Amino acid sequence: METDYLKLAAENQKKAREVIAESRVEEIWRRHGAEINLIGSLATGLLMKHRDIDFHIYTESPDIDVSFAAMAELAGNPRVRRIEFANLLDEEDACLEWHAFYEDAQGDWWQIDMMHVRRGSKYDGYFEKAAKQIAALLTDERRQTILKLKYETPDNLKIPGIEYYKAVIRDGIRDYRDFLTWRQNNPPAGIDSWPLG
């Protein structure tokens, strides 16, 4: 029986929205004076097997005390099992990077990635625009192809979503073998500027 990639993706995206609601991640950050925006594969409607939820979070200055206070509140949820942190304020990203690992009621693990970004920094609004642009470039065929490639990717291989999107939308890749060859010929080099660059 052939896999219904659209149905599977829709189910996973519904579950992701439930995780967002149950964790109260958006509500928590807003209560701490931040703007929080969904980005990445959930924002584009292309979330498949890899259960990650990506947010960019903005304040005038990513105050470490505020960031830790918001994450302490998130950690109060018993389904949040682990949290990781990196201070990248001096890097190109100019952010505080958080990863929360959430176990849902079915025992599935979700990674909630939160980049607490300085408003006005280089990537302020960038990934939100990129997600909208990618969504606008999707056709039914491209969506099916991207979801199929993500489904066929081994679970232990983490590939950034932008690589699938660029390969399919820009370069016309249609199957997993060609995608692997494409990756060899297009190695990642930092933050990818496509489709906006």
Q: Of 122, 138, 166, which closes a domain?
A: 122
Looking at the structure, tell me whether residues 17 and 82 fall in a common domain.
yes
| Least confident stretch, 27-36, 58-67, 159-168 | 58-67
Beta strands 52-59 and 80-88 are: unpaired
Q: What is the pLDDT of residue 2?
A: 67
Q: Would you place residue 62 in the very low, low, confident or very high pLDDT band (cuts 50, 70, 90)?
A: confident
| Residue 1: pLDDT over 60 | no
Give the burial class of 177: count Cβ atoms within 10 A of its Cβ; 0-12 exposed, 13-18 middle, 19 or more buried. exposed
Angle at 191 between CA 188 and CA 193, to 5 degrees: 95
Number of H helices, E strands in the chain: 8, 5
CA distances from 135 to 3, 6, 110 (A): 23, 15, 23
Q: What is the pLDDT of residue 77?
A: 98
Torsion sign over Cα 84, 88, 89, 95: negative
Contact 115, 126 (CB under 8 A): no
Q: What is the pLDDT of residue 113?
A: 98
Q: Would you place residue 137 in the very low, low, confident or very high pLDDT band (cuts 50, 70, 90)?
A: very high
Q: What is the pLDDT of residue 123?
A: 86
61 vs 57, higher pLDDT = 57
DSSP 8-state code for residue 43: H
In a domain, 191, yes or no: no
Q: Of 122, 138, 171, which closes a domain?
A: 122
Mean pLDDT of 162-188: 95
* Cis check: omega of the bond before 195, within 30 degrees of 0: yes
Quick: pLDDT tens for 68-98: 999 999 999 999 999 999 999 888 778 999 9
Question: What is the domain extent for residue 136?
Answer: 129-185
pTM (2 d.p.): 0.92
Backbone dihedral angles phi then psi of residue 156, each to the nearest 5 degrees: -85, 0
Quote the number of domains for the chain. 2
Looking at the structure, tell me whether residues 79 and 175 fall in a common domain.
no
Looking at the structure, tell me whether residues 60 and 31 fall in a common domain.
yes
Task: For the chain, give the percent of residues with pLDDT over 70.
Answer: 98
Quick: pLDDT tens for 99-122: 999 999 999 999 999 999 988 888
